[in-house]
Amino acid sequence: MSAYVEIPRPYESAPGRFTVDLVFPAASKHRAKQHHDVAWALAGVHGVEASTPWKLNPRWSYYKEISGTEERYGGLDERRLTVQGGARAVARYLAALVRVVDEVEALATQAVRAFGEWKRSAAAAPFLEYEDASTMRVRSREFRADVLRALVQGLDARTRPVGERDSSRPLWEQYGAVAEEVRAAVGGVDLERAGAEAVAAQEVRMVSAAVAEAERLVVAEAARVEAQRLEEERVELFQQVHAACAREAVAADAERFERDGQGALFAMSEARLPLVVPPPMPVKARRAPSRRGRLRPETRVALSGAVRVIPAEAVERLYGERASFAVPKVSPDRRRYAPAA
């Protein structure tokens, strides 16, 4: 496929008649229009019908129209082209379109190279006196666009006279002469030639969706059958290797048992069972030990807050000395306010 034109799958709009909607994705609108013109010129050569579709202007509104603005309702979309015709004619047209667009772009690139050689020559010095790098970049870009337009306009001409350059004028004003020079250097652009392989590839893409889906299913089924056959062969080969290894192991064991005199302890005729490794048992998570279990029983009772009688020995172990539990004396003034027993 070409980088200058997008060719989707052609569809059958009528019995024996196919339609394809071409798209020209160039960043510049003028360059996309030039590619559109190339495709339009080729349509008449290959006997297919071409039409430019209509595109609605998204900025248009009825109020803008009655207010006198320049926003139109819509116009021809020059980034697209609809081509219709027979299967063979459309296939040849698409194959030739890809080649012609690439060749025209290559000729425009050669013209820009010739422009670069002219800039570095002594003949260009008088014309570059008031030009700087930025203006020359603009000149080169516009020169390429002009040469491409001249090449597109001269596609339908079989032979054209090659004009000579005028040394009294800058080369960016003589893009037509440079276009004819690069065209004559390669012998022109053949609009009718279409490679047999490219035409066959385009015809393959013209099958209907149902046929394409059926072909896809057939290929998928063939792939599945082949994968199943390979799997069966692999299993059979594995079984054969396993049996051969088992026979060799039995023969080696028999020889060793006969040499050691222990043949009666083992059964030679029984097949060896495969080694089965059971899955590991799940490990139960252990709970962290409680610090509460480290205390003595009497200490745990003392710290629990229960109202119980604690032996003196337990108190001595807790506090390290014998505690005094004598009741303090209360003055008579405070005793009068004490609660009754």
From 23, 85, 25, 83, select the one nearest 51 (Cα to Cα). 83
Residue 311 to residue 316: CA distance in whole angstroms: 9
| pLDDT tops 80 at residue 337 | no
CB of 139 closer than 8 Å to CB of 112: no
Strand partners of residue 14: 17
User: In degrees, to the nearest 5, what angle opens at C-alpha 121 toward C-alphas 116 and 127?
Assistant: 85
pTM, rounded to two decimals: 0.55
Average pLDDT over residues 47-70: 76
Average pLDDT over residues 71-83: 82
CB of 144 closer than 8 Å to CB of 108: yes
Q: Average per-residue pLDDT in the chain?
A: 77
Residues with Cβ within 8 Å of residue 42, at least 6 apart in sequence: 93, 96, 97, 100, 155, 191
**3-37, pLDDT tens digit by residue?**
888 888 888 888 888 899 999 988 888 888 888 88
Token representation of residue 186: 């390669």
Q: State the DSSP code for 6.
A: B
SS3 assignment for 200-234: HHHHHCCCCHHHHHHHHHHHHHHHHHHHHHHHHHH
Q: How distant is the alpha carbon of residue 228 from its chain centre? A: 31
Calculate the alpha carbon distances from 56 to 50, 53, 61, 81, 221 in Å.
20, 10, 11, 15, 46
Strand order in the sheet with 11-14: 11-14, 17-23, 80-86, 49-51
**179-238, pLDDT tens digit by residue?**
888 888 887 788 888 888 888 888 878 766 666 677 788 889 999 999 888 888 888 887
Token representation of residue 229: 């056959």
Residue 1 to residue 11: CA distance in whole angstroms: 18
Q: pLDDT value at position 322?
A: 55
